[in-house]
Structure 1
């Protein structure tokens, strides 16, 4: 008897649900950081953690292409059935180690420059510098973890990643409570908790990769000429180049968001930091559909199956949209109360309540762009994704200027348009890209 393959929706949820839970576990450390430092009732310290976290986000998130490209190339290899996963892992890890070495070399210049870019001044700057000086050392480990996580997701081993993330973040939260509230290390305690949990995550991920035999395959691939063939390297660097520039634009928009908010003073900065962390919780939840789309679309492209590809896109958009509406409804009902739990400063609590309605709008606008990102990365359409991001970024910059009279509400409005604009641009170019990639299907 022939067994029917799982439906597109079932395949999507098999990847998306563990990825969503993994991403939520990842978001917990940012929320735990803001909650722990908020117990001190010190707005400048809370603002410093916000700026320090944005600095590290700006420094490292531009290299998140290591994860996304590894997912795409591993999934495409699985779709073709060519057993190229070991070579993909070897190439990606070599790039990660090279970038890590450059970052450590640039550390003495990068920290003061980054704080200047973010407009950090006075006590906030000094506290942010203390935070970054500790957390910076986790950068190379974070890069290696991007590769290991990307490889495991591309192999559909998302549950393994989930278990690792839960363990590492439970340790992170425990260290936050110990180092900030008991030992009273303040912002340095928050940063130390992050470094420690990142190192633990690497050890756990590496142990899984070794157990799966991928480490042996990757080591064997290091000595094969095919691993370093010009065509393969050109493909890798073309994909990573587009993803790097696109992520650079997205990260720049987030840093600009932090800088504009910082001009309004430490209270608004702290409130925006709390709201942004709650927004990131929704983003990382909905990002599970991006992971599902990356894997399913990558496999479909590798197998040159247009039917599988379009079914995966349709399923991701429908279920992503339903989940986005559910998150938006939750934030509309409880967003302000949730934000109030992250500070004991009455002024910060009042400011979070004033701007909390934006939390209900952003998930609806953002979910389609997250899904399309997964589709475009999985299919290798990174140049088109970069173009749509550039157009959305241009609209964002114009709105930042024109909406200044609205104050912080104008800042959040421009940020919302950034996500909605990306989705519209990607939807417009998608049909042409499908016809081009599956012309023979």
Structure 2
């Protein structure tokens, strides 16, 4: 009899996780380079990048179902031995990405200024954010196509090509960014142009790869509707993240220019390490989805426990490393003494949360791979409503600054930890089967 909680070889997990780490880390690593380049222009451009970057990042955050939902559906089909159908999920997700991306580009041009003014509470910071955002928004369709491309390739457990495609775009742009900002003299706008170049290169490579798969490329509304069913829950979940991080940026901006600059530095490191840890979640999605698609429930449960343990170990290790570099690393991103003085108010929360984040992100991947998006939607919305958001706005009312904001993030993560551990232990997520044909 097959044993419950059947594990897979560690090299199989890391064979998926390590290339996925490269893909996930490439974008935030590029943003960190961008932050370091712009940070030496001064506190005001850095504050503009902080607000503009948060707004743009919400586009991809809000539409992560193009990657995560596609991975979940494609992995089940791949596990059932239906590769053409799995790639077909990528075709439909790419059509959806192009349409939504163009709509968001147009809407973003109209709304950039009022949104920036509402968030900043300061005309100078808002002006800097708008000048960056209006250019960077042209990368929106490319960002979404790249999400869809990563989704179907992860689903079929092909992680080498996405790594090459993303590194090609971001590598070229990481070299281009400081050139455009300083020698060319475009300043903050130069970083936005480099951002668009990165997204355009990566998206073009994913489109070519999809065309070479020799599967039908026409839109299939029935498949798109099925993807949107899963996407609805992931979008609502993303709204919770969006409300939290936009609120945090707005409150930090109202505290001081130095506070929002420090928040930008620590928050970008948070996003970077979140995606580092999320590489294990990508492996979990692919392996859990494939196991459930193949009908091997015991292996799905085994992978879940295995990757949760890995997440705890890696999160703890990252916490130790970033505690050790607390006095050195922030100076890489800014030389402004006011910003550096504010960094410790967020830094130690960031460090202490890493082990918790390791477990939460690993189990997010397990539940997403199982298609358990409705549970993640509901618990994330509740965690935001009772943890993060109240503390953020109380920080504004009582002047608690960055310490109050990051206390809110801590409460949010603790609530999510309880929710995903309870679901994992109950086992109701491990339902076998694969979607209907997409080709």
TM-score by length of 1: 0.91
Assess if the C-alpha contact under 8 Å between 1:69 and 1:239 holds in 2. Answer: yes
Aligned pair partner of 1:254 in 224, 245, 254: 245
Q: Aligned runs of 1:170-249 on 2, under 5 Å?
A: 170-210=171-211, 213-214=212-213, 216-219=214-217, 222=218, 227-229=220-222, 232-249=223-240
Deviations 1:150-194 (A, max 9, x none): 111112111211122222222111111101121121110010010
Deviations 1:78-109 (A, max 9, x none): 11123412321222122112212321332343
Structure 1 residue 335 and structure 2 residue 326: aligned? yes
Distance 2:256 2:227 in 1: 43
Unaligned runs of 5+ residues in structure 1 are none
Assess if the C-alpha contact under 8 Å between 1:57 and 1:251 holds in 2. Answer: no
Assess if the C-alpha contact under 8 Å between 1:52 and 1:131 holds in 2. Answer: yes
Assess if the C-alpha contact under 8 Å between 2:8 and 2:299 holds in 1. Answer: no
Alpha-carbon offset, residue 112 of structure 1: 2.2
Distance 1:10 1:434 in 2: 27
1:136–1:438 CA distance, 2 compared to 1 (3 A) = closer
Assess if the C-alpha contact under 8 Å between 2:345 and 2:403 holds in 1. Answer: no
1:133 maps to what in 2? 134
1:302 maps to what in 2? 293
Alpha-carbon offset, residue 48 of structure 1: 0.3
Aligned pair partner of 1:434 in 418, 423, 428: 428
Name the stretch that deviates more: 332-341 or 110-119.
110-119
1:342–1:105 CA distance, 2 compared to 1 (3 A) = closer
Assess if the C-alpha contact under 8 Å between 1:51 and 1:120 holds in 2. Answer: no
TM-score by length of 2: 0.91
**Aligned-pair RMSD on alpha carbons?**
2.0
Q: Secondary structure at the match of 2:215?
A: helix
2:52 maps to what in 1? 52
Distance 1:72 1:374 in 2: 9
Alpha-carbon offset, residue 421 of structure 1: 1.3
2:99 maps to what in 1? 98
Assess if the C-alpha contact under 8 Å between 1:74 and 1:155 holds in 2. Answer: yes
Q: Secondary structure at the match of 2:103?
A: helix
Assess if the C-alpha contact under 8 Å between 1:246 and 1:385 holds in 2. Answer: yes
Deviations 1:39-59 (A, max 9, x none): 22x111110011110110123
Q: Secondary structure at the match of 1:312?
A: helix
Q: Secondary structure at the match of 1:337?
A: coil
Deviations 1:378-415 (A, max 9, x none): 11111111011011111222333455453321111111
Deviations 1:261-320 (A, max 9, x none): 111111011011011111122111101011011101111111121111111101110111
1:16–1:407 CA distance, 2 compared to 1 (3 A) = same
2:392 maps to what in 1? 400
Distance 1:435 1:276 in 2: 32
2:410 maps to what in 1? 416
1:304–1:279 CA distance, 2 compared to 1 (3 A) = same
Name the stretch that deviates more: 238-247 or 410-419.
410-419
Assess if the C-alpha contact under 8 Å between 2:48 and 2:126 holds in 1. Answer: yes
1:436–1:368 CA distance, 2 compared to 1 (3 A) = closer
Name the stretch that deviates more: 380-389 or 419-428.
419-428
Alpha-carbon offset, residue 8 of structure 1: 4.0
Alpha-carbon offset, residue 245 of structure 1: 0.8
Alpha-carbon offset, residue 146 of structure 1: 0.8
Unaligned runs of 5+ residues in structure 2 are 1-5, 434-439
Distance 2:100 2:284 in 1: 27
1:7–1:438 CA distance, 2 compared to 1 (3 A) = closer
Structure 1 residue 285 and structure 2 residue 276: aligned? yes
